[in-house]
Structure 1
Amino acid sequence: MTYLHGLFWLCALALGHTFVGYPAWVVAKARWGPRPVRRGEWTPTVSIVVAVHNAGAQAEARLANLAALDYPPGLIDIVVVCDGCEDDSAERCRRFGDERVRVLEFVRRRGKAACLNDAIAAARGEVLLMLDVRQRLEPQALRELVANLADPEVGVVGGELCFEDPETGFARSVDAYWRYETLIRRSESTSGSMIGVSGALYAMRREVFQPLPEGTVLDDVLVPMRAARAGWRVVFEPGARAWDRPSTEPVQEQRRKIRTLAGNFQLVQLSPWLLRPGRNPLWFRFVSHKLLRLAAPWMVLLLGLTAAVLATRHVWCALTLVALLAGVAMVLASRLLPVLGRWLPVRLSVAFFYMNAYAALALLTFARNRRLHLW
């Protein structure tokens, strides 16, 4: 049983590092060894890039939202790429009546990465603002992002994705998870560089961008990691906010989250240098923040199995088994009595359960189809 005891502690320590140790380390590093960003007044030309597929009214709403940005209109151009749209997305954008808007329309669906490559090739700005079509930006978002790029060390800056009205129990769990994730990103930025940004809202210097490999899912991780490798800082700007609505049921979150998590496997496949400490300056952060989370569901499974076998022999194994069973019980109870989702331990248990379930499914999804889905 000695090897089972060793396996138990290996899994326990790895999970502890992933979800508690690394966040605590990076928060402490941000607190005791901060690297302030030298923000400044700077108003460069900006190209706003939006790739859409069957976005419909969302595309029109996105343009209306951009028209309200607190930034000199004459310094902005907007490139909308319609990727194999079967609806009236392209026509809605052309009818919007803003001469700054250019629409690139492709009949064949090629994927977001190809769209971004074409859009940026057609863009004119010194700064590129990358957006998804769905979220609502606050008026000052662009100005806040650009202020960080006044620092000559900063190459990429990400904004904060916020959730509106997380009303249901599951939505509250999504919101709790995202607050935890945002704390880590903010601390990574304060202490040096983040390893990724939110695809909903990020900006970069034009010279930072390199064409993306075809089919890339996580441009919001690959672009920052390439920038860090080239010597740029990747920072977080909480004053630049994009607002979205969280999924209210697990099935709504499942498809998006599985695709995103599977994108991490693809990322390593496309850029194996990410796994090499000598070539990836953010290697420790990348492994701790991204890769160990992908392994977490399997470590939880092994932890539970070894704890069950050893529960009568070792008190820590017994306590761990009780904690795991209590977590499962809270997840089940939250489905039967959604009102329990207001209780923090339940929210955290639900978030932990589903994020790990999605990570396990992501590996299976990637193993079945390494090309993933275009969007």
Structure 2
Amino acid sequence: MESMRPGIVLVELVFWLSLLALVFTYLGYPALMTALARLRPRPVLARAQTPRVDVLLVVHNAAALLEDKLHNLLALDYPADRLRITVVCDGCDDATEAAARRIAGEASPERIRVLAHPQRQGKSACIGSALASLDADLVLFTDVRQRIDTGAVRALAAAFADELVGAASGELVLESAQGYGRGIDAYWRYEKAIRRVESASGSLVGVTGALYAARRAAIGEVPPGIVLDDMWIPLRIAEAGYRVVFVPQALAYDRAAADPATEEARKRRTLSGNYQLLHRWPHLAVPGAHPLAWRLWGHKWLRLLAPWLLLLALLSNAALAATAGRFYLIVFMLQLLAYALALLGRGVPALARAWLPARLAAAFLSLNASALLGLADYLRNPNAHLWRTTPRGVSR
């Protein structure tokens, strides 16, 4: 029995370190950011202003969505002579380009212009090539799918009255979430709460691709092949010494995915983009090498490790349950119960709709499974940067 003790101690160490890392990932980091926001707040010195804004909208085969999106942008509460829309058609082989040119003709070339690539380039390549033709003070990035609140541009522009602000993210609101989508909506509310305290204490580590703005002069090179331009661009801006802030008054609206498969495909691509970001820009993982490196560990990189931490916690707990006493047996049974609840929530949609714990457990398991699958996706195809317009009802 004594000879087994060193081995048991090692397994106990693995279990507790895994558990503590998981607790810090999902609870400790948000608590730390909340404490920093309260003890050392950094308010944004915003004031009303109307700088010139270039709206950049990259689309691929989005004919069914483009007309509504352009009319939404034209109706924004912002001086018409201070806001220009550039639509970049990325190798579209449907009616997208024709619809864009028709609406541009109706609105006037001063308000909407259309750039078209005959062959698909990928979103980041389109952004990179279009930026050279923009000359406004701010560039506003948006996706074709989401509806933007009429006052959103004014809210974002006000943040740039603070000379330290280089990028500002709007808030994505998920409408009419049902079933599995309600679990995703709960996760998104949790995510936005973290962004609020990150912003209040300094900077975000990423923005919502549905709606964000940046100082044109602060945007560095956007290389082709980047999946997460909404992380690459703000992280480059932060590297130059600017803040990246959250503006909750600037709203964009979307619908949460109603089924797990659709949401998981989107999440896998996003998480694969995180692995790509680390591959292309490895010093993002080195504390001190980037101004936001520590926040990236708390908010992003530990979540990529979370599936492995969960596996270590389960396996080490299983070993301890058989050798180290009743406490570990009880904890192991609780772990198994949590996984069973997640699988039931996934497999029985009616249970997920009716019971919050099952809904949240299913969403949590899906998120971590997507992190594993996203890694496999990236290892299998590191150049999978070409994208498709996602139908309405899929959040991002």
Report the TM-score, using the length of structure 1 for normalisation.
0.97
Aligned-pair distance for 1:2? 2.2
Aligned-pair distance for 1:144? 0.4
Specify the alignment match of 1:68 in structure 2: 75
Specify the alignment match of 1:20 in structure 2: 27
Equivalenced residue count is 374
Aligned-pair distance for 1:48? 0.1
Match of 1:258 among 265, 268, 284: 268
Is 1:196 aligned to 2:206, yes or no?
A: yes
Structure 1 Cα separation of the partners of residues 327 and 371 of structure 2: 26
Specify the alignment match of 1:98 in structure 2: 107
Q: In the alignment, residue 23 of structure 1 is paired with which amino acid?
A: P
Q: In the alignment, residue 34 of structure 1 is paired with which amino acid?
A: P
Aligned-pair distance for 1:165? 0.3
Structure 2 Cα separation of the partners of residues 84 and 366 of structure 1: 24
Structure 1 Cα separation of the partners of residues 325 and 233 of structure 2: 47
Residue pairs, 1:153-168, within 5 angstroms:
153-168=164-179
Specify the alignment match of 2:185 in structure 1: 175
Q: In the alignment, residue 259 of structure 1 is paired with which amino acid?
A: R
Match of 1:151 among 141, 153, 162: 162
- Compared with structure 1, are the counterparts of its residues 24 and 315 closer, same or farther at alpha carbon in structure 2 (3 Å cutoff)? farther
- The 8 Å contact of residues 189 and 235 in structure 1, kept in 2 or not, is answered as yes
Q: In the alignment, residue 337 of structure 2 is paired with which amino acid?
A: A
Specify the alignment match of 1:331 in structure 2: 342
Deviation digits for residues 142-165 of structure 1 (CA, Å, limit 9, x no counterpart): 100110011111000000011010
Is 1:52 aligned to 2:52, yes or no?
A: no
Specify the alignment match of 1:370 in structure 2: 382
- Identity percentage over the alignment? 46
Q: In the alignment, residue 232 of structure 1 is paired with which amino acid?
A: Y
Aligned-pair distance for 1:41? 1.7
Q: In the alignment, residue 61 of structure 2 is paired with which amino acid?
A: N
- Compared with structure 1, are the counterparts of its residues 23 and 216 closer, same or farther at alpha carbon in structure 2 (3 Å cutoff)? same
Deviation digits for residues 188-237 of structure 1 (CA, Å, limit 9, x no counterpart): 00011000000000001111111212100111111111111111010000
- The 8 Å contact of residues 351 and 358 in structure 2, kept in 1 or not, is answered as no
For structure 1, the 5+ residue unaligned runs are none
- The 8 Å contact of residues 137 and 243 in structure 1, kept in 2 or not, is answered as yes
Farther off after superposition, 35-44 or 2-11: 2-11
Aligned-pair distance for 1:243? 0.5
Q: In the alignment, residue 348 of structure 1 is paired with which amino acid?
A: L
Residue pairs, 1:280-295, within 5 angstroms:
280-295=290-305
Structure 2 Cα separation of the partners of residues 225 and 44 of structure 1: 23
Structure 1 Cα separation of the partners of residues 184 and 119 of structure 2: 34
Aligned-pair distance for 1:373? 3.1
> Secondary structure of the equivalent of 1:145?
helix
Structure 2 Cα separation of the partners of residues 241 and 340 of structure 1: 28
Structure 1 Cα separation of the partners of residues 332 and 217 of structure 2: 52
For structure 2, the 5+ residue unaligned runs are 1-7, 388-396
Deviation digits for residues 48-88 of structure 1 (CA, Å, limit 9, x no counterpart): 00000101121111101101100001111111111011101
Farther off after superposition, 87-96 or 1-10: 1-10
Match of 1:33 among 32, 35, 40: 40
Deviation digits for residues 247-277 of structure 1 (CA, Å, limit 9, x no counterpart): 1111111221111001011111111221222
Aligned-pair distance for 1:28? 1.9
Aligned-pair distance for 1:340? 3.8
- The 8 Å contact of residues 226 and 385 in structure 2, kept in 1 or not, is answered as no
Aligned-pair distance for 1:315? 4.7
- Compared with structure 1, are the counterparts of its residues 373 and 222 closer, same or farther at alpha carbon in structure 2 (3 Å cutoff)? closer
> Secondary structure of the equivalent of 2:364?
helix
Structure 2 Cα separation of the partners of residues 113 and 314 of structure 1: 55
Aligned-pair distance for 1:342? 4.0
- The 8 Å contact of residues 272 and 374 in structure 2, kept in 1 or not, is answered as yes
Structure 2 Cα separation of the partners of residues 337 and 251 of structure 1: 13
- Compared with structure 1, are the counterparts of its residues 20 and 319 closer, same or farther at alpha carbon in structure 2 (3 Å cutoff)? farther
* Structure (1 or 2) with the larger CA radius of gyration: 2
Aligned-pair distance for 1:323? 2.6
Is 1:322 aligned to 2:333, yes or no?
A: yes
- The 8 Å contact of residues 35 and 191 in structure 1, kept in 2 or not, is answered as yes
- The 8 Å contact of residues 25 and 298 in structure 2, kept in 1 or not, is answered as yes
- Compared with structure 1, are the counterparts of its residues 171 and 315 closer, same or farther at alpha carbon in structure 2 (3 Å cutoff)? same
Q: In the alignment, residue 144 of structure 2 is paired with which amino acid?
A: V
Deviation digits for residues 268-326 of structure 1 (CA, Å, limit 9, x no counterpart): 11112212223211111101111110011111011111111111414553343223222
Aligned-pair distance for 1:328? 1.7
Is 1:89 aligned to 2:101, yes or no?
A: no
- The 8 Å contact of residues 128 and 224 in structure 2, kept in 1 or not, is answered as no
Instruction: Return structure 1 stretches of 4+ with deviation > 6 angstroms.
Output: none
Match of 1:207 among 203, 206, 217: 217
> Secondary structure of the equivalent of 1:234?
strand
Aligned-pair distance for 1:42? 1.3
Report the TM-score, using the length of structure 2 for normalisation.
0.92
Specify the alignment match of 1:7 in structure 2: 14
Match of 1:351 among 352, 363, 379: 363
- The 8 Å contact of residues 80 and 119 in structure 1, kept in 2 or not, is answered as no
- The 8 Å contact of residues 205 and 244 in structure 2, kept in 1 or not, is answered as yes
- Compared with structure 1, are the counterparts of its residues 217 and 325 closer, same or farther at alpha carbon in structure 2 (3 Å cutoff)? same
> Secondary structure of the equivalent of 1:152?
coil
